[in-house]
Structure 1
Amino acid sequence: MTEPGVGPEAPGNMRTLVLSNDLDETREIISSAYSPYQLSVLGDPKDFSAWYAEGGFPGVTVSGLQYGAETLVAPQPLDSYLLVCKLVRGRVRVISPGREERVVGAGETYVLDPYRQFQVHWAPGARMTTVRLARETVEAAAADALGVEGPLRARFGLGGPISAGAARSWAGISAAVHREVLGEGIARTSPLIAAHLTQTTAALLMETYRLVTDGVDAQRPGVVAHGAVRRAMALAEERPDQPLTLADLALAARVSPRALQEAFRRHLGTTPLGYLREVRLGRAHADLQTGRGNPAVTVAQIACHWGFANLGRFAALYRERYGVPPSRTLRG
């Protein structure tokens, strides 16, 4: 089921946590799911109803939320995570006291960062879906995007995507995340795939919405000693089965992510993540050779284990490097 189909039936692997006409029960459960918040009915209390459901894989949570009466929600700052919200039906008015205000209609999106005070005025029957990312993931992606060392306190404006192209790209990654959650996607069982999809989602977030980083300038990569490259290579070779990020490799190299990227291009003609992919491809090749003659071993299992979610892409990379399809290596 696609993202716009999310509704009170809680499709796929989402769990309904609230389906109620009780204001106090709704306030208690959704406060636990999000953050403590005030919930007020502005219309006739007899018209109040609420539905909330969520699901996810490690790194990402998807939720659906609907109120059946005119409602005002005033949460505390989210603190530990960020929400990208999409109106599926109706409209809401988002108010950030002293900062911004925006009316959001069906099909439009906005971002609530971990630090923002905000209120949301719901029109009766409005429904939204959200994609939730941990603050640490977002701050690491913001640092990578600007080429600075360490996590970066990432603030976002209430405006929508910065361009139509950015909106289309975000819609694509959001749809992929929803498919993984609502269906039986491999991100639910593969930590590597889950980490890759989470990191890609966070990175694309930086390119889609206006990132507010007052006083922070992107660093120019300096001349990086080859030792930094060797340290990153060592980590990639020691832990290729772990969901390593560019930030992880840069931390091991003791340089900024952007500086490490420039150093890899200069010394090796590739990128840090490109090198990590080559290491994983080599490990997959070794597993295919080891599994030869064992009918219980499949190419898909090995590819997934080493973080290759797209089997066609894995086969193309493998053939390019080894001259034969992976199935021939496995079956002889």
Structure 2
Amino acid sequence: MRTLVRSDDLDETRAIISTAYSPYELRALENPQNFTAWYAEGSFPGVTLSGLSYGTETLVAPEPLTTYLLVCQVHTGRVRVVSPGREEQYVGPGDTYVLDPHRRFRVYWGAGARMTTIRLARETVDRAVGSELGREEPVRARFALGGAVSRAAAGTWQGISDAVHREIVTGGVARTSPLVAAQLTQATAAALVATHRMLPGGEPVRYTGNVAHPAVRRALRLIEESSDQPLTLSDLAAAARLSPRALQEAFRRYLDSTPLAYLREVRLERAHRDLVAADGEGPVTVAQVAYRWGFSNLGRFAEWYRRRYGHSPSRTLRT
């Protein structure tokens, strides 16, 4: 694995890990002058393994992960995981918990706590749930806190987790063999579904690509090709050959979003790309990039950007 953070700078840590995961709140709760952080990452196609530790009592509160989930295992120390208004769990060495992609969590790290996380795409796990239930289509996976359902299940998960660790840490063939990577990814998702606590009431879901609704694909094509143009909901509906209301319903069903929210995310991604590519000492400004991608209100642009990337657009431009 490659170390990406070894720092006593809280803002630097927040910026780097927000980019790796999702925007999140990071706060030293005790002795902030003693704050330290370590973060390392490695992967093969389909799975990302990360290691994290904080040197003082720390609060981590990420935005909902939406497109992926994390299986977290504590190795040293103790953490308290809270899903506001729903569940709370204390997790000690050897125990695991799953960060469901559809809700918020607050994770309180004890001083010196260390854990590893296995990251899987939501779509991969949804397909594993569908297979477990004997369904041809994916079924939305919803996980409870509380770790494995039994000691035997914990042992099964530990075995697949160890295999993932070996492949990544020792540079196994999964990093270079797409077939091995795909099989190990599917096995990891299947083991997760079979061993960890799930919430009832999963619903069939569909994804973009070959299985997406043709109308949604037509709207997505317009967004991808013309996101720098002043598109409206009516424009997207016309391209999709649906009424605006029907298009909104289709986006909610297939993408768990709305057409204009999806458009905004594409524009944010492209603005971020332009800011990263720009010379911080050159003539490009944040305002120019924002206006290019349709953000006429710079305050809202900065707020959305910070929420997604964990820091201001001007900081990206300067680095």
Write the distance in 2 (CA, Å) between the matches of 1:150 and 1:215. 12
Residue 80 of structure 1 aligns with which residue?
67
Q: Which runs of 4+ in 1 moved over 3 A?
A: none
**Do structure 1's residue 177 and structure 2's residue 160 form an aligned pair?**
no
What SS class does the counterpart of residue 136 from structure 2 fall into?
A: coil
Q: Which amino acid aligns with 1:183?
A: T
Equivalent of residue 146 in structure 1, options 120, 124, 133: 133
Equivalent of residue 119 in structure 1, options 106, 125, 130: 106
Q: Shift of residue 149 of structure 1?
A: 3.2
Write the distance in 2 (CA, Å) between the matches of 1:200 and 1:70. 35
Q: Is the 8 A contact 1:153 1:213 kept in 2?
A: no
Q: How does 1:241-280 map to 2 (within 5 A)?
A: none
Equivalent of residue 196 in structure 2, options 199, 204, 209: 209
When normalised by structure 1's length, the TM-score is 0.60
Write the distance in 1 (CA, Å) between the matches of 2:52 and 2:58. 12
Write the distance in 1 (CA, Å) between the matches of 2:69 and 2:150. 21
**Do structure 1's residue 71 and structure 2's residue 61 form an aligned pair?**
no
Residue 48 of structure 1 aligns with which residue?
35
Q: Shift of residue 174 of structure 1?
A: 0.3
Unaligned runs of 5+ in 2: 205-319
Map Cα deviations across residues 99-146 of structure 1 (whole Å, 9 max, x no partner).
Answer: 100010111111112112100001000000011101110111111111
The 10-residue stretch of structure 1 (58-67 or 151-160) with the greater mean CA deviation from structure 2: 151-160
Q: Is the 8 A contact 2:81 2:106 kept in 1?
A: yes
**Do structure 1's residue 107 and structure 2's residue 94 form an aligned pair?**
yes
Map Cα deviations across residues 18-68 of structure 1 (whole Å, 9 max, x no partner).
Answer: 110001000100111111000111111111000000001000000000000
What SS class does the counterpart of residue 111 from structure 2 fall into?
A: coil
What SS class does the counterpart of residue 154 from structure 1 fall into?
A: coil
Q: Is the 8 A contact 1:156 1:210 kept in 2?
A: yes
Tell me the C-alpha RMSD between the 2 structures: 1.2
Write the distance in 2 (CA, Å) between the matches of 1:67 and 1:174. 22
Equivalent of residue 48 in structure 2, options 45, 61, 64: 61
Write the distance in 2 (CA, Å) between the matches of 1:202 and 1:215. 16
Write the distance in 2 (CA, Å) between the matches of 1:57 and 1:210. 26
**Do structure 1's residue 30 and structure 2's residue 34 form an aligned pair?**
no
Give the 3 Å change call, closer, same or farther, for CA 130–215 of structure 1 in structure 2.
Answer: closer
Q: Shift of residue 150 of structure 1?
A: 1.8
Residue 190 of structure 1 aligns with which residue?
177
Map Cα deviations across residues 60-108 of structure 1 (whole Å, 9 max, x no partner).
Answer: 0000000001101111011111111000100000000011000101111
Q: Shift of residue 154 of structure 1?
A: 0.6
Q: Which amino acid aligns with 1:162?
A: V
Write the distance in 2 (CA, Å) between the matches of 1:53 and 1:141. 28
Percent identity between matched residues is 65
Unaligned runs of 5+ in 1: 1-13, 218-332
Q: Shift of residue 213 of structure 1?
A: 3.3
Write the distance in 2 (CA, Å) between the matches of 1:145 and 1:176. 22
Write the distance in 1 (CA, Å) between the matches of 2:195 and 2:202. 21
When normalised by structure 2's length, the TM-score is 0.63
Equivalent of residue 39 in structure 1, options 11, 15, 26: 26
Q: Is the 8 A contact 1:179 1:185 kept in 2?
A: yes
Write the distance in 2 (CA, Å) between the matches of 1:116 and 1:138. 16
Residue 233 of structure 1 aligns with which residue?
none
Q: Shift of residue 216 of structure 1?
A: 5.5
Structure with greater Cα Rg = 1
Q: Shift of residue 215 of structure 1?
A: 6.2
Q: Is the 8 A contact 1:154 1:213 kept in 2?
A: no
